Amino acid sequence: NAGVMQNPRHLVRRRGQEARLRCSPMKGHSHVYWYRQLPEEGLKFMVYLQKENIIDESGMPKERFSAEFPKEGPSILRIQQVVRGDSAAYFCASSPRTGEDTQYFGPGTRLTVL
Amino acid sequence: GQSLEQPSEVTAVEGAIVQINCTYQTSGFYGLSWYQQHDGGAPTFLSYNALDGLEETGRFSSFLSRSDSYGYLLLQELQMKDSASYFCAVRDQRGGATNKLIFGTGTLLAVQP
Q: pLDDT tens digits, residue range B1-16?
A: 678 999 999 999 999 9
Mutate which of B29, B44, B92, B99 to disrupt the A interface (most A C-beta within 10 Å)?
A: B99
| CB contact (8 A) between residue B99 and residue A95 | yes
* Closest CA relative to residue B3, chosen from B99, B85, B69, B96: B69
Highest mean pLDDT, choosing among A17-26, A40-49, B34-43, B47-56: A17-26
Q: How confident is the model at residue A100 (pLDDT cuts 50, 70, 90)?
A: low
Contacts of B8 (CB under 8 A, 6+ apart): B105, B106, B107, B108
List C-alpha distances in Å: B67 to B27, B28, B64, B70, B87. 14, 13, 9, 8, 21
- Residue A51 has a pLDDT of 87
- DSSP assignment of chain A equals ----EEE-SEEEE-TT--EEEEEEPPTT--EEEEEEE-TTS-EEEEEEEETTEEEE-TTS-SSSEEEE--SSS-EEEEE-S--GGG-EEEEEEEESSTT----EE---EEEEE-
Name chain A contacts of B97, Cβ cutoff 8 Å. 48, 55-56, 58
Cα separation, B40 vs B44, whole angstroms: 11
Residue A91 has pLDDT above 90, yes or no: yes
